[in-house]
Amino acid sequence: MNVKQRTIKSEISVNGVGLHTGQPATMTFKPAPENHGYKFKRIDLPGSPVVDADVDNVTDTSRGTTLTQNGASVHTVEHVLAGLVGVELDNVLIELDGPEIPIMDGSSIEFVEALEKVGFLDQDADRECYSIPHNIHYSEPDRKVEMVAMPLDDYRFTCMIDYNSPVLGSQHAAITTISEFKKEIASCRTFCFLHELEMLLKNDLIKGGDLNNAIVVVDKEVSKDELKGLAKLFNRDDIDIAREGILNNIELRYQNEPARHKLLDMIGDLALVGVPLKGHIMAARPGHAANVAFAKKIKAQIKKDRTKKHVQIYDPAATPLYDVVQIMNILPHRQPFLFIDKILELSKTHVVGVKNVTMNEEFFKGHFPGAPVLPGVVQIEAMAQTGGILVLSTVPDPRNYLTYFLKIDKVRFRAQVLPGDTIVFRCDLMEPIRRGICQMRGTGMVGEKVVVEAEMMAQIIRVKETETKE
């Protein structure tokens, strides 16, 4: 049974300040239609520009993940995206009246609880996950970063961090399925080292920072005066160093909370791939820059696989639906301008035809005779003749009709076609035929390799109409 896409039942808002900008913001989650995905809408800007949660829109990873599109930016998106993935939502519009996602308590838990409060709604469309087909690796040797996505019929994460810190040491975190996110990961807060905190404060880079929304790891000797200074800065009566080697502003929710938060960040950043994933993600020393680079690599693999998936492989030696004689009973073309030898499939919306390329064809006498290559115009004509079979099959007397090109668009020649090759053309209607006008998308393949693609518009006209016009 297929899992359905889902959104939320009604809108709900949360309020807070941005960690880095310090600007207050109200963020409203809204239901969205099928295949919408995750999108941010900056309602505080003219025109309310929309920013897609897409890895190609990432413009900064220095202190969180920033997206920019249509002249608008949204900062620190990783925690809210992790929350959306963690509750397995597919389609949500996120309206924001400021430049940065509210930091809340530094984790995803308040987002998760808000989403669960309004509940979820199953939609009609199936959820289309991308299953990792083989190991996909990413590494940064200088930073000792290693990441791999492995095939698995679930969404599993394993994360290891190692900051060469006597306080943190090496930490591991894992979930065996995404349904464990709320219980094991969602409440794990962001963390930083004390020396980083001091640098950020000095450069005014965490204007919304508060000791309630971050774990501060003490990685150096700290004097009483320095602790008093921090207490004053954060409006605290007193600050000290807890037994675990962190500032005593908060207690750890898990002994390995920093590693769990890194796993949370990774889930949020990989949401930018744009589709739900199935696979086991393992990472050593991840960070936002590495997560985004890894997401881009996975997205590139998805794009490559989808291109292959949408092109079915046909056996050119299969018994034809129409042979060349039957084709000539439909098409008006004749040798040397008949370029289709077989029709393998024909339905109301698609057709599959075959052209065998042989050295004795007339055009090879003049088209690079020393290095024969099938001319591109012949490939397009052969594709059009294949489409002509589809179009003429819609009329009861095809011999009394002719098919004329109106437009050819988005033509791509992707590989040479040589004598001895066999091209299999597939043409699909892009929309129903209306008033004799048809629009088709065509693909030509040699084996498993796409050699030509094009979109074509044509018109079918009765022969008598043609004679009258002349």
Tell me whether residue 109 is exposed, middle or buried, using C-beta atoms within 10 angstroms of its C-beta: 0 to 12, 13 to 18, 19 or more.
buried
Q: Return the structure tokens found at 425.
A: 């053309």
Is 367 annotated as catalytic? yes
SS3 434: strand
Q: Is 79 a catalytic residue?
A: no
Asked whether the bond before 336 is cis by omega within 30 degrees of 0, the reply is: yes
Phi, psi of 175 (to 5 degrees): -130, 145
Residue 136's DSSP bridge partners are 149
Query: CB neighbours (10 Å) of residue 334?
Result: 8
| Catalytic residue from among 36, 172, 350, 367 | 367
Among 172, 288, 333, 350, the one annotated catalytic:
288
Question: E strands, 285-400, where?
Answer: 342-346, 350-356
Measured CA to CA, the distance from residue 196 to residue 175 in angstroms comes to: 29
**3-class DSSP state for residue 376?**
helix
With beta carbons less than 8 A apart as the criterion, state whether 363 and 378 touch.
yes
Please enumerate in sequence order all residues whose Cβ is within 8 A of that of 37, keeping only pairs 6 or more positions apart, or say none. 52, 53, 90, 91, 274
Residue corresponding to tokens 């591109």: 376
Residues with a known catalytic role: 288, 367
